[in-house]
Structure 1
């Protein structure tokens, strides 16, 4: 694992720790350290297997001679040097660098919003420098878009495109601010999911042009949901972009109401069902069991974080993300509860 992966992994609220080929911890994201109640700077150098409390699943997995397939460790107990034990269902995966990546899903985790996390000081300083370099071109893009908007105010199509540029620059700036200075999550507000989907489809049109047919199949009677417009836009755009990059000629966005839906351990009287359907190559068979794990990608140039972030956004909204796939027909389904919205 290399340091340039840290900013991306630190966006995940799922606890993640990585180790070298010998099983010694090289680093973790902030969520993992916070979950164990330890400073991230105290973890590097410790044997990963030493984190297991009262068991040998990790040691056996790391010292075993198995292949590169991910190992699922059910109800593993983890603790730092005699601290309070935490239980999780975990995935242990070989990384492309020959080391190990452990993703922990706390068995008692609530799929809601996590409090703010504090970045290690060295990483925070490095990111501040990166932020300075990124904010300048973002500000330039925003200024250019505003200038174009004034020049083409009588052209509705140009006005729409410049508005899209401004909105996306604003979203990128907000994401950067959240990465550098995490704040407690803001309360979700009522929103029309079709507004989010139209924004995503406009992005898809500018990205794919006429190469992909974009199909709308909306239920206009759906009530509002509680959510974060920017986060839902990011998650949905990740799913649509994955479909485009999988060679889809057609991508369909379908919304429906679902009644008496169980999401995790909760039963909801009413939920929004968003299906993103494409006719691309489908999910490779060797990735079906670990598709939502970070750093797992079916493309050599992929970061392997798009689906992990999309799943995280679903959890932030007390929802779920699942899929079914075969060549020529893949469906990703996002379920979001709607019962909490007051009309």
Structure 2
């Protein structure tokens, strides 16, 4: 068996590997591991190996309680706080001196998380049936909203804004129902300001009521416009914010940042958008961690289990990724989207 003291010889390996002492504290990583995580090797040394796992706690449980010498790792997500997680399959092996060797095989993302593959025909049929049932009440709501709008001339500005919001959301729901009932090719993406989308979501959050939640903005005003479907992005972000509310959060932060040289799916982009939805709720239950983005997976008895699956689908429609890391008191959903960075990106997003 290998020993911790001999492991610097792994520096020339192309496979990302890290090694730790018997307490699970990182002694070193090879250059491939540091490049994969996008940090210097020096930042990783002395870190608890288990602390690098940002989704789930398989490493921590194995290091503390397991007597096996080897653990096969599935759906491993590693990273440092505030960094985008990296995904891999891998192995954790016990060394002869009691230390540990972590060998990873990076993947861009986990195929099983694709709701389009996990959504069975029966569920698709059920959604279409539900859409049919919703069309009539929505038509009634639309008529009532139009009547209220005509009568709103003498009302104050706040009331008029709420009436306008009702009408806008009814139209968005009607568009969603049409997509469920008559699937059509994706609409061409328009140039839009992501912060306009986020402000729409904040208006929905204020109108939803029933929660005492502080919603904070942490925007980067230098972010250029992106190409996207404003309605679909609103739906996705609102689902994520609402998920935070329902997890018992008292504070939710919407954060935007520019990323340079970020790999998103199968391409490296000169510039990309990072949108984070951060909350201080109870975190993702361990039993849901591996299946969170699949349809009908919910931690609440009254939940539909569709909100996060739909958000994941919207990210894919925009050639982006949606990932998360979670612990009690700090859950971060990260949406990475290619930014408007020239004609090549524009062509790619319309494709």
TM-score by length of 1: 0.61
Distance 1:283 1:220 in 2: 31
State the Cα deviation string for residues 274-326 of structure 1 (Å, max 9, x = none): 11011100111222222222222222222222111111111110111111111
Partner residue of 1:284? 285
Partner residue of 1:165? 166
Partner residue of 1:20? none
Distance 1:210 1:174 in 2: 28
Q: Is the Cα–Cα contact under 8 Å of residues 283 and 330 in structure 2 kept in the other structure?
A: yes
Partner residue of 1:59? none
Mark the runs of 5 or more structure 2 residues left unpaired by the alignment. Answer: 1-72, 76-109, 347-351
Q: 1:208 to 1:261 in 2, by over 3 A?
A: same
Distance 1:129 1:239 in 2: 25
Superposition pairs for residues 238-317 of structure 1, below 5 Å? Answer: 238-317=239-318
Q: 1:127 to 1:271 in 2, by over 3 A?
A: closer
Q: Is the Cα–Cα contact under 8 Å of residues 269 and 339 in structure 1 kept in the other structure?
A: no
Of Structure 1 and Structure 2, which has the larger fraction of its residues in helix? 2
Q: 1:283 to 1:193 in 2, by over 3 A?
A: same
Distance 1:106 1:281 in 2: 25
| Pair 1:135 & 2:135 matched | yes
Moved more, 227-236 or 283-292: 283-292
Distance 1:153 1:341 in 2: 44
| Pair 1:337 & 2:347 matched | no
| Pair 1:105 & 2:106 matched | no
* Residues matched between the structures, number: 233
Distance 2:288 2:300 in 1: 11
Superposition pairs for residues 118-133 of structure 1, below 5 Å? Answer: 133=133
Q: CA deviation at 1:134?
A: 2.6
Q: CA deviation at 1:202?
A: 1.0
Q: 1:128 to 1:252 in 2, by over 3 A?
A: closer
Distance 2:244 2:214 in 1: 12
Partner residue of 1:325? 326
Partner residue of 1:213? 214
Partner residue of 1:100? none
Distance 1:182 1:213 in 2: 37
Partner residue of 1:144? 144
Q: 1:218 to 1:209 in 2, by over 3 A?
A: farther
Q: Is the Cα–Cα contact under 8 Å of residues 131 and 180 in structure 2 kept in the other structure?
A: no
* Counterpart secondary structure, 1:302: coil
TM-score by length of 2: 0.60
Distance 2:225 2:255 in 1: 16
Q: Is the Cα–Cα contact under 8 Å of residues 218 and 256 in structure 1 kept in the other structure?
A: yes
* Counterpart secondary structure, 2:238: helix
Distance 1:232 1:308 in 2: 13
* Counterpart secondary structure, 2:290: coil
* Counterpart secondary structure, 2:291: coil
Distance 2:131 2:333 in 1: 33
* Counterpart secondary structure, 2:111: strand
- Rg comparison, structure with higher value: 2
* Counterpart secondary structure, 1:304: coil
Q: Is the Cα–Cα contact under 8 Å of residues 212 and 251 in structure 1 kept in the other structure?
A: yes
* Counterpart secondary structure, 2:209: helix
